Structure 1
Amino acid sequence: MNKVLFIIRDDFRQIRSSVMVRIFMVLLITVPLFFTWFNVLATWDPFSNSGRLQIAVASTDEGYTSKLLNVKVNVGDTVLKELAVNDRFDWVLTSKDQALEGARSGEYYAAIVLPEDFSQSMFTFYAGGAAPADITLYTNEKKNPLSANLTTQGAQGVTAQINTTFSRTLAEVAVGIAEDVSSYLDTADTQAALDRLSNRLESLCAQLNSGANTVSSLSTVIGSAVPLATGAKQLAAGVQDSFDEAVGDTVGSGVNSTGGTDNPFAVVSSGLDDAVSLAAGNISNLQNQLDNLLDSTNSTTQSTAAAIEELQTLLNKQISGFQKTRDAIEQSLGSDGADLLGKDPTVDRFLAEMDAAIARQQSLSKQLGTIAADLHQGVPLDSDLRESARHAIAEAQQAIDMTRSNYEKNLQPKIESLRENLDSAGKNVKVFRSYLEAMRADLSGSSGGMIASMRRSQKTLVDTAQKMRDGASRLDRAREQITSTRGEVDLGQIATTLGADPKGFARLISSPVAVQRNAVFPVATFGVGMAPLFTVIALWVGALLAGVFLRTDISPNVGQRYLDSVADRKHPDTAASADTNAAESSRSAEPSTKSGEIRPTPAAKSVVKAAVKKPVFIGAQEYLGRYFMFWAIGMAQSTLLMIGLIVFVEIEPAHPFLLILAGWIISTVFTNIVYTLVVALSNAGKALAVVLLVLQISAAGGAYPLELLPQWFQNISPWLPATYAINLMRSAIAGIYAGDFAYNLVIILLFLIPNLVLGLVLRHTIAGRIHDMTKAIEKTKVM
């Protein structure tokens, strides 16, 4: 402990022994003082000087003329008159172009322009679909960052001024209208008109109720008709199903495919002519060819037989085709045709004739086969056989001709008539079916059907009836209010009351709410609120300056002086001789006037060697002894700073002594942090102290609420000592709540623990590396 005290006493002796050091110490102590005082006074109440800020105001308002009263009103001119006597800002009333040019050049901090339709927008604000009136604000943010916010507040003040003036004007007009209405209602004609209005409302109310009852009855009728429509829908569906079944059973494919290629009557009408005509032509050709073969003398017997066989083959094919035609006719007219023709015997006769024609052709085919066989066997043809063949051909030709004649005269006309009837029936069936489908659609319960329409109509009628009843109720209430108002309200008394002070009533209407500001933990001015931030920054800067300019290591001369003092205390009788030797050593160490070299005496050399061999002070003694000078400077800084804030600046703290105590505690912590960083890390510690200063200016919450800062500022704020230092000073200046002063005091003192651990213990483990880093920096000859 004696060594620590010796280091402290030696530091003060060195300060007293040098005038320059004393002057430097005075400057080191007063720098934080002046920094804080000047900043607090500069920000003492800046907003009270807003009247010096020039804001240009220009109005291009063209005014507004009401359709009710032929009086032109210009709200823009009224605003300019109001601002002319407003001293919140230095309002400059000018033109739009000059206002904008002044804002751009920096002559004005901002420019406010009222638009051309400003009055119209103000007086039509209560109309349907109207938008609020707008004013345009131009701010020169380059001139000053805070001026933009101030001018924005000025624009808001203009808006509030406009709203107040407009509301006051409307209120004054309303008072005048009330007086006019009172005078008007007192006349006999007005009373008679009110009686007629009451009677008319009563009559109209009765008519609406009667109409509502009629509409309700109609809705009931439509509701009763819905079941009938539902039954009709079901009946229509049954009729259509029965009709489809009947058409399918009766007309069949004759109706459904009348014009198609599969129509059986089309087969009869188009193919029968061709079949009969072809058969008749073939029989005629057969007769001619047979005659030529039988009468020919050039052909051989075998060739004649082969030619006859070819004729037989052709005839057989014709018979087969004739048979198919006959079967088709029987299929078409034998079953379906029997019903369509009503059991007409014409078909049976025609089929019998076709059977006869087929039989004649088959007989002719047999005779041709017999003739061919005889010719192959070499049997000569007699005249009887030839005549028999010709006779068979004639009979076949006659049967075919009869069939053709019977078809053309009897059957074909009936088939054609039947086709025409079926075509007409098919068209009628399609039309009737479309009628049935349309009926079903109309009666359908879908969104477009008759039943759905009836239901919607019923609901609409019910709603209409209810609205009519509601309208009648409102009219009845209006009639009752008119009657009761005439008997209870005295408009003359209201007009008399308002007429006593109409302008005062208008002011009350324009500003019905007044804000009463009650500050919790009040401070005198804005500068007082900023004092904790400026004070904390100043104390940190003061500690940082001490760490930069003052030495943190112990000079070997201090150790030698300590050893000399110890020797003096042990052998006081040798003190004089020691002083003489020391003087001689000092003289011997002076430069020679001839050589300019230093020549230490042997005694001086022995002293230095002894000091080098064994350190006089250990690490803790050096740390605590040298720190006292830093702490003393910090105490002087904080004491003068706090007393100056209280006495000279007059911040009027709620707890002056706690404010001084807070300054002592803050200075102790700050000087210890900076001193420990410099002792342990050398130049790197100084740089780290500067980094902490930068962080604490923004992240300690001294100027802006932490909630307004980015998230990472909020995250590091609890780990900064300035955060609790600022809160500690705020409690002392504005007042203590729930022990917040003691809480912040304890938290800031906790920062001493890691610093003492670093300064007394950990710095010895990193001393070698820090020493090497310092030597490397010194070798650069730059730092």
Structure 2
Amino acid sequence: MRKSWSVFTTDLKNISKNYVAAILIGGLIFLPSLYAWLNIYASWDPYGRTGQLPVAVVNEDVGANVRGEDIEAGKQLVDTLQDNHDMKWIFTSRQKAMEEIENGNYFAVMIIPHDFSEKLGSVVSDHPQKAKIEYYVNEKINSIAPKITQKGASVIVERVSSQFIATVNGVIFDLFNRLGIELAQDMPDIEKFENYVFDLETQLPEIHRLLKSATADANSAQKLITKAENMAPSANKTISEGLATINKTYDFLTKAENRLNEMAPKVKSDLEKASSIAKETNAFLQKAANLHLDFTEIDRVKGQMDSKMTEAIQAVEKVEADLQWLKEVSNEKGEEPTDAAAGRQQRLQEAIDRTAGLQALLHEAQNNARSLNGLVEGKQDELRQTLTDLQDLTKNTSVRLDAFIAEYENTIEPTVLTETANAKKTLQSAKSMLTTIQSTMPEVERVLKSTSKDIEEGKGLAVKALNEYPFLADKIRTLADRIRKVQGETDINEIIDLLRNDPQAERSFFEEPILLNENKLFPIENYGTGMTPFYTVLSIWVGCLLLISLLATDVERDEDLTVRQIYGGRLLTFLTIGLLQTIIVTLGDLFILGIDAKNPVYFVLFGLLISVAFMLIVYTLVSLFGDVGKALAIIMLVLQIAGSGGTYPVVLLPEFFQWINPALPFTYAVDLMREAVGGIVWHRVTKDMIFLITTAAGFLIIGLFLKKIVNRKTHQMLKKSRESGLFH
């Protein structure tokens, strides 16, 4: 150990006495630090300057009209990007944008197509279409820039989508809110509908009976209408015949009225004539009673009286005949039996009876007059009595004729004329009614045909409804059961409360339904700080490579020095320089770059441990294998850069690198430095330190105990390789 220390002290003296060596060693000490610092500074915050990446935006959207409202989603997107500084947005035409991206002046191009708004608006149609944004990227320019621009484009698309979803959902929840209000207002109607369904369910048997009854009634109605249609021609014929009868009767009454008007003066004249004869006879008898009558005179009086009585009887007979004719005419009018008609008939019959009575009186007077001849001889007193009785008889006849004349004038004649006029008026009304009925018969026939057709259709519907009744009844019962089930499981008031939410709050929710509540367990200030462990570890290994590239691992052979002593002595020199490199790079990270390490002391100490481990590995490889060892150290560097997980997570690496990752010193060195930067978890630190110390100890043992054997073999190989003139 003392001789090894002697080798180390000799190296320090040589460095201090030779300024060139001192300068070179100083450069070797600081050079790895520059490698780390420059890389860390370069990657300090690369994503904080994405606003300098030129990305073109082309808006070709022509807008759209959705349910009466104009929308310009493309313009709104452009307005949004104008206030966005995540990238350097350049708004231009398609032609210029494509030319510039091909020339490498733009990293990406976003083109908003002409139908952008139209397709967004199709969400309210039956066939909604997704809107598209064309995205062009020139990946030849840089490998990272396309990923950044793509991320920016994705963020913009997500933002537009979230805003659009929020807008649509705002409208939907506004509709839901109004629906909830309407449902609350319609709750009585909903409950009434439920009751209707339940009532309908209970009424199903009665509905079935009514359908069957309606079908039977339709059949009966159809038969009746068919019968009525068949009777329509007969009804037309009857109406025509009735009109003809009315016309005939009306004409007959008109003639009777005219006849009555013609006959009335004559009847009156005949009655007046009979009355006059009775009066004259009465006067004659009064005069005759005061005279002395002989046979000749009596015969003359008898002849005169007989003649007058005959004339009066004939006049009354004519009146009776006329009254009988009126009665017959009254019976032939075909009127319905009424109290007025019966009264008229009774009055006419009484008048006829009274004319018969008058005739009897006149016949009695005539007979009495004819009996005067037997009373002349010796019976003057009886004659005079007979004349007196005859006088009274004629006087009574005259009075009765005058009364009959008055009754005829005041009652019989006006009554007959009035009743005739009324009969004519009634016939005229009946004629008008029948004429109206006759004019409506075509419409009646049309209505009957239409009704027959409607009843046929109604019958068909009734039959169809009857046939569909089982299905309908089943559906109604199913609906009632579902309503009862919903009532049992769901409170519609809760649904209404759910619908009646704040539309703006719901819109805000769907614009950002999930908030990422980020909790950083081991926060890292920026990207450069996050990359510091990797670049620091990498610079330590690079420092080791620089040392073994410029410094020799062996010393000039001294008979007093063994291979093991040389290995140990020169190792101390390498370790010293390596530790100085590590101190400079770690302190520079902390104080020059301002790395925010949570445990700065451990950051330096862990760096020193890593430096010792790396130096033992690299120094031992070169000490044992010479140039081949250098190559092995470089190969290890390459494998560890890719497979240690320093830049990308191990799970994202190819399977080969995932396989070798647990065996690489970089894996544990980078993890150890990350613990110092982000915050220490001691069981991880312990695991990392055990691996590094174990690995370093292993290489130290190999160097101490196998150097002589390995050097013998490598010396022969080196000698043989130099014979080729290609290797030094």
With normalisation by structure 1, the TM-score equals: 0.54
Counterpart of 1:9, as a letter, is: T
Give runs of aligned pairs for residues 634-783 of structure 1, distance below 5 A: 634-783=578-727
Deviation at 1:778, TM superposition (A): 3.0
Task: Please give the per-residue CA displacement for 1:329-371, whole angstroms capped at 9, x wherever unaligned.
Answer: xxxxxxxxxxxxxxxxxxxxxxxxxxxxxxxxxxxxxxxxxxx
Aligned to 1:123: 121
Deviation at 1:675, TM superposition (A): 1.0
Give the secondary structure class of the aligned counterpart of 2:111: strand
Q: Distance in 1 between matches of 2:616 and 2:145?
A: 40
Change (3 A) 1:203 1:629: same
Deviation at 1:760, TM superposition (A): 1.7
Change (3 A) 1:554 1:119: same
Deviation at 1:159, TM superposition (A): 1.4
Give the secondary structure class of the aligned counterpart of 1:65: strand
Aligned to 1:618: 562
Deviation at 1:530, TM superposition (A): 1.1
Moved more, 105-114 or 721-730: 105-114
Give the secondary structure class of the aligned counterpart of 1:160: helix
Give runs of aligned pairs for residues 36-435 of structure 1, distance below 5 A: 36-66=36-66, 69-125=67-123, 127-170=125-168, 173=171, 203=196
1:511 maps onto 2:509 in alignment: no
Counterpart of 1:91, as a letter, is: W
Counterpart of 2:150, as a letter, is: T
Give the secondary structure class of the aligned counterpart of 1:522: coil
Task: Please give the per-residue CA displacement for 1:138-174, whole angstroms capped at 9, x wherever unaligned.
Answer: 2211111112221221122111221232244346656
Give the secondary structure class of the aligned counterpart of 1:124: helix
Counterpart of 2:511, as a letter, is: S
Aligned to 1:414: none
Counterpart of 1:133, as a letter, is: A
Task: Please give the per-residue CA displacement for 1:514-547, whole angstroms capped at 9, x wherever unaligned.
Answer: 2221111111111111111111111111101111
Task: Please give the per-residue CA displacement for 1:177-219, whole angstroms capped at 9, x wherever unaligned.
Answer: 689889x979xxx97x99778767765775588679999xx9x
Q: Distance in 1 between matches of 2:479 and 2:601?
A: 77
Checking the alignment, whether the CA contact within 8 Å between 1:198 and 1:483 is kept in structure 2 is no
Aligned to 2:30: 30
Give the secondary structure class of the aligned counterpart of 2:564: helix
Q: Distance in 2 between matches of 1:721 and 1:169?
A: 55
Change (3 A) 1:777 1:135: same
Change (3 A) 1:701 1:136: same
Checking the alignment, whether the CA contact within 8 Å between 1:212 and 1:468 is kept in structure 2 is no
Q: Distance in 1 between matches of 2:712 and 2:14?
A: 29
Give runs of aligned pairs for residues 544-583 of structure 1, distance below 5 A: 544-556=545-557, 559=558
Give the secondary structure class of the aligned counterpart of 1:108: coil
Checking the alignment, whether the CA contact within 8 Å between 1:198 and 1:479 is kept in structure 2 is no
Checking the alignment, whether the CA contact within 8 Å between 1:54 and 1:90 is kept in structure 2 is yes
Deviation at 1:473, TM superposition (A): 5.8
Q: Distance in 2 between matches of 1:104 and 1:213?
A: 83
Moved more, 95-104 or 525-534: 95-104
Moved more, 687-696 or 109-118: 109-118
Counterpart of 1:726, as a letter, is: V
Counterpart of 1:54, as a letter, is: P
Counterpart of 1:684, as a letter, is: V
Deviation at 1:119, TM superposition (A): 2.0
1:12 maps onto 2:45 in alignment: no
Give the secondary structure class of the aligned counterpart of 2:123: coil
Give the secondary structure class of the aligned counterpart of 1:5: helix
Deviation at 1:79, TM superposition (A): 1.1
Task: Please give the per-residue CA displacement for 1:624-680, whole angstroms capped at 9, x wherever unaligned.
Answer: 011111101110011111111111112221211111111111111111111111111
Aligned to 1:527: 528
Aligned to 2:434: none
Q: Distance in 1 between matches of 2:2 and 2:194?
A: 110
Change (3 A) 1:179 1:756: closer
Task: Please give the per-residue CA displacement for 1:220-259, whole angstroms capped at 9, x wherever unaligned.
Answer: xxxxxxxxxxxxxxxxxxxxxxxxxxxxxxxxxxxxxxxx
Counterpart of 1:38, as a letter, is: L
Change (3 A) 1:479 1:653: closer
Deviation at 1:36, TM superposition (A): 0.8
Deviation at 1:13, TM superposition (A): 1.2
Q: Distance in 2 between matches of 1:768 and 1:481?
A: 91
Change (3 A) 1:148 1:461: farther
1:629 maps onto 2:573 in alignment: yes
Moved more, 541-550 or 766-775: 766-775
Structure 1 vs Structure 2: percent identity of aligned residues?
29
Checking the alignment, whether the CA contact within 8 Å between 1:213 and 1:465 is kept in structure 2 is no
Moved more, 75-84 or 53-62: 53-62
Q: Distance in 2 between matches of 1:710 and 1:488?
A: 56
Q: Distance in 2 between matches of 1:738 and 1:483?
A: 57
Gaps of 5+ in 1: 219-459, 560-614
Checking the alignment, whether the CA contact within 8 Å between 2:197 and 2:476 is kept in structure 1 is no
Aligned to 1:542: 543
Q: Distance in 1 between matches of 2:470 and 2:624?
A: 93
Q: Distance in 2 between matches of 1:515 and 1:487?
A: 30
Deviation at 1:684, TM superposition (A): 0.6
Task: Please give the per-residue CA displacement for 1:598-623, whole angstroms capped at 9, x wherever unaligned.
Answer: xxxxxxxxxxxxxxxxx220111110
With normalisation by structure 2, the TM-score equals: 0.58
Q: Distance in 1 between matches of 2:670 and 2:676?
A: 10
Give the secondary structure class of the aligned counterpart of 2:140: coil
Q: Distance in 2 between matches of 1:15 and 1:485?
A: 92
Task: Please give the per-residue CA displacement for 1:272-319, whole angstroms capped at 9, x wherever unaligned.
Answer: xxxxxxxxxxxxxxxxxxxxxxxxxxxxxxxxxxxxxxxxxxxxxxxx
Moved more, 526-535 or 762-771: 762-771
Change (3 A) 1:79 1:204: farther
Checking the alignment, whether the CA contact within 8 Å between 1:543 and 1:671 is kept in structure 2 is yes
Counterpart of 1:718, as a letter, is: P
Gaps of 5+ in 2: 212-467
Checking the alignment, whether the CA contact within 8 Å between 1:102 and 1:108 is kept in structure 2 is yes
Q: Distance in 1 between matches of 2:608 and 2:660?
A: 25
Deviation at 1:505, TM superposition (A): 7.1
Checking the alignment, whether the CA contact within 8 Å between 1:209 and 1:472 is kept in structure 2 is no
Give the secondary structure class of the aligned counterpart of 1:766: helix
